[in-house]
Structure 1
Amino acid sequence: MAKREGRERWNHLNALPIKQIHDRWISQYAGHAINIIDRLKSDLQG
């Protein structure tokens, strides 16, 4: 959605579809990646 005010154009983003994509496709992999990074951090510190 865009709104014009004189020479300016204001664009607005509906973030809900992006969040739905994240929740459905990305979140399961993000949790796994966080676990791997946590384990790596523990191994490097210990």
Structure 2
Amino acid sequence: MKERFKYFFDQKDRPKILVIGDLILDEYVWGGINRISPEAPVLF
């Protein structure tokens, strides 16, 4: 499989590739926990 990718990218006439999709950016929030909800196992 690596050889096929290497051959594909080493060609002089490289094909044009269009990638269509979504961009997802994650954000992490750090904090402390004071209590646990009695109705559900949710931290708040």
- Same structural fold, with TM-score higher than 0.5 when normalized by the shorter chain: no
- Which structure has the larger Rg? 2
How high is the TM-score relative to the length of structure 2?
A: 0.28
Structure showing the higher helix proportion among its residues:
1
In terms of fraction of residues, the more strand-rich structure is 1
TM-score of the pair, normalised by structure 1 = 0.27
